Amino acid sequence: MLIRFCASLVLLALLTPASLLADPVPAANAALTVTLVNGSYVIAPPGSRLLLRIPENHLAPGGGPDSPAYFELSSSTPNLIVTGWFEPAVSYEGAQKLWKGDVKAMTDGGLPAPKNIVFLKRGPWEIISYHIPLPQGTSAHLRAELVQAGTWLDLHLSITSGQPVAAAREKLLAVLQGITVEEK
């Protein structure tokens, strides 16, 4: 329970002020849709030409900020959370600047400093990988950024477990590899 609570705190801290204040993808007050189709969640934001497909893998839609540009999927076995924002491409200022804002949000929120920070490029994704040490285990995270068809897609994947950090990171990278982005 403590691990899930800590993971939730980390997730909330990473909702950077820039993300919260940025204008969502234009949509006449319509929210994005999350639909289960053939074993994958199809996420369709209004006003964007992108569709996101995430394999179900025991995930279920969850709550989160009331925004037409935000989604959350989570699973308790494993303790996996996938969240994301669809924003206008012009809002993206690069992974380094995003990371600076994330670290500030974490430290301002009283969270432990992130460890093992690695910037990666996998396919079209710019990735920031890190973990937060917990009293029992670790909370491994990926921030994955993609700009395509006028949209910035900001994904945050996290898994909280007792497994080694490297194993948790590989599991998250495997989840990301299964996610596809398509143009409508």
**pLDDT tens track of the chain, all 184 residues?**
333 334 443 443 443 333 333 333 333 457 889 999 999 999 998 888 999 999 998 899 987 777 888 999 999 878 999 999 999 999 999 999 999 999 999 999 998 889 999 999 999 999 999 999 888 888 999 999 999 999 999 999 999 988 899 999 999 999 999 999 999 8
**CATH number of the domain residue 120 falls in:** 3.40.1000
- In what side-by-side order are the strands of the sheet with 180-183? 33-37, 40-44, 50-55, 180-183
Domain boundaries, position 162: 2-183
Total domain count, the chain = 1
